[in-house]
Amino acid sequence: MQNFEGYSYIDGGVCAAKGFRASGIYSGIKKAMQPDGNESPLGNEKNDLALIVSDTLCNAAAVYTQNKVKGAPILVMKKHLSATNGKAKALIANSKNANTCNADGVEKAEAMCQLTANQLGISKEEVLVMSTGVIGQILPIEPIEKALPALCEKLSENGGHEAAVAIMTTDTVSKEVAVEFEIDGKKCRLGGMAKGSGMIHPNMATTLNCITTDTAVSSKLLQKALSDVVKITYNCLSVDGDQSTNDTCLVMASGIAGNSEITEENDNYKIFRQALYIVMMNLTRMLAKDGEGATKLLECTVSGAENLDTAIIVAKSVVCSPLFKCAMFGADANWGRILCAVGYAPAEFDIEKVDVTIASKAGSIDVCKNGAGIPFSEEEAKKVLLEDEIQIFVSIGDGEASATAWGCDLTYDYVKINGDYRS
């Protein structure tokens, strides 16, 4: 992970910040969904229910998918945050079932919050909810209700990993990052967990994400920081071009680090925002690298743009190109596919000023100058592209703006995974 001056990476994920406890448990949601009451051959007793609880009422902010089809948990979370003026104390989340496109979806999402609130002795509106998994299948509430007492009993300051595992679907690894920094001479911590492997092409958020911090920051500034950072991290991520129905990113701030509450965009706000960027950027890279069937992380950085939006549009155009993604899987330095994707990006720039370089830890090679190919060693390019993390550098002019987008290669396994996803 990239180092940033003044910030130290620490363990703990969503429990790195003071005042947060978490847990994860297997409740058997998928088993209850099967007609015969058995898990499918691909099923296993992986945690499928997560709980994160703060010792104090937190300021909270969230962003959600812009898909017209939204999971019931999103509707309930918005309702609860509105009712509490941006406050929350707990998050209950499940995998295996998205609770989306179901007639009783809101009822089930509210029930998850009420059952959790009953166990914790807090109000239902102080509980937020997330779900991920298969769309259009009724969410069985019985296994969740049965598992909640044990889930609450397991709550621990060391329970972040168990919670991160519980929200995984086709993920092969959990995604957790946390950093420590100082504001007003007080140690502050910010950490998060994310899930996501397929159906990733965000607009305002991506997959399921929960970020916690003990920094004192107002709900208004928390929302601004989240919305700003989402634009240059999660919104610059694409695995397969499909935008999920349940995408949610939640940030909860307990405020117990002891710093003066951040209520304006001053230097303290910039320190906090940078911490949020570091965590969300690293989670974005993890999500991209663990794309369904992926063998390589692809990172495209566009520079020389007249403005940030142009740089983002061009960078995303490259990482979203199926032909480019296939070429990277085959370690084929077919730079024409990169230039093609740059060219159809809906942005204005001079194509005759475009330069392209491919790079990895094995080296870097210029493949295009001023919009045209240049001689290069195919053998050396192959060595560069055989690594599992590939960088594409694209310069589109002499502007001052730049942006990075993240994606992954497109492999045979992606089709295999999604050909029997409901199994």
Residues carrying an active site annotation: 206
Q: Residues near 198 by Cβ (< 8 Å), separated by ≥ 6?
A: 169, 170, 239, 240, 242, 291, 292, 414, 417, 418, 421
Name the nearest CA neighbour of 131 among 22, 21, 262, 30.
Answer: 30
Name the nearest CA neighbour of 108 among 148, 81, 65, 142.
Answer: 142
Name the nearest CA neighbour of 287 among 163, 384, 202.
Answer: 202
CA separation (Å) from 31 to 7, 44, 92? 43, 9, 19
Q: DSSP letter for 351, please.
A: G
The bridge status of strand 248-253 relative to strand 49-64 is antiparallel
Tokens 């690594």, located at residue: 387
Residue 166: helix, strand or coil by DSSP?
helix
Q: Residues of 275-309 as b/e, b for ≥16 C-beta within 10 angstroms?
A: bbbbbbbbbbbbbbbbbbbbebbbbbbbbbbbeee
Write out the two tokens for 309. 């939006």
Write out the two tokens for 342. 């740059």
Rounded distance between C-alpha atoms, residue 318 and residue 406, angstroms: 9
Neighbours of 92 (CB within 10 A): 26
Rounded distance between C-alpha atoms, residue 374 and residue 251, angstroms: 47
Residue 88: helix, strand or coil by DSSP?
strand
